[in-house]
Amino acid sequence: MSNVALLLVLALCMSQLLITNAWNTWNPFRHDNYTVHVQNWFGNETIILQAHCKSGDLDLGLQHISMMEEIKWKFQLNFWATTLYFCNLSWVGGHRTFDVFTTRRNFLRNKCAPSINGGKEERECIWHAQYDGIYVLDAKTQAFLLQYKWEPR
């Protein structure tokens, strides 16, 4: 094998290594596990938050969440990385249906914060309901941001 061919093979191997490393650093789908939390933050024990969450293939059923309680579920992305979960949240003051998890890159980066669980990296999407609307934990600032106002009943 000539020196030129050997250099070409070496250059291809190095570029593949760099591309793979860059993809693994940027790739939002590299996390094996995701957890969605839906929390009742009304601060009034008489207000029960009703949550009906589901995806295309899994219905979590209607659940009742008491004050300062939560429901949560763990999952992995489907083969095509198109996993979508949505919830209908309701209480005496209103209701709202919205996506609590989608694989859109800006959603994963901004609304699903990385966490470490048993040495394995995961992402958590944390939503909570209050009187004025539904908040999500911003992954960058670690502050809860108002995402949706309640729709009237």
Across residues 127-141, what is the average pLDDT?
Answer: 96
- Please, is 18 exposed, middle or buried when counting C-beta atoms within 10 Å of its C-beta (0-12, 13-18, 19+)? exposed
1 domain residue, yes or no: no
Phi-psi sector, 82: left (phi>0), alpha (psi -120 to 50), beta: alpha
pLDDT of residue 25: 42
* 43 within domain boundaries: yes
Does 18 map to a domain?
Answer: no
Q: Which residues are 75's β-sheet partners?
A: 34
Residue 124 tokens read as 């958590």
Q: How confident is the model at residue 152 (pLDDT cuts 50, 70, 90)?
A: very high
Q: What is the pLDDT of residue 16?
A: 55
Compare 152 and 21 and report the one with higher pLDDT: 152
Q: What is the mean pLDDT of residues 84-112?
A: 95
Residue 79 vs residues 19, 39, 66, 83, 100: alpha-carbon distances, Å? 22, 29, 35, 9, 19
Residue 33 phi, psi (nearest 5): -125, 145
22 within some domain: no
Domain count, the chain: 1
pLDDT at 14 over 80: no
- Whether residue 87 lies inside any domain: the answer is yes
Residue 55 lies in a domain: yes
Q: What is the DSSP letter of 28?
A: G
Q: Which domain holds residue 143?
A: 33-149
CATH number of residue 37's parent domain: 2.60.40
23 assigned to some structural domain: no
pLDDT by residue (tens digit) across 21-75?
Answer: 444 444 555 557 899 999 999 998 899 999 999 999 999 999 999 999 999 999 9
pTM for this predicted structure: 0.78
pLDDT at 17: 43
Q: Considering the domain boundaries, does residue 13 fall inside one?
A: no
pLDDT in tens, 100-133: 999 998 898 899 988 877 667 789 999 999 999 9
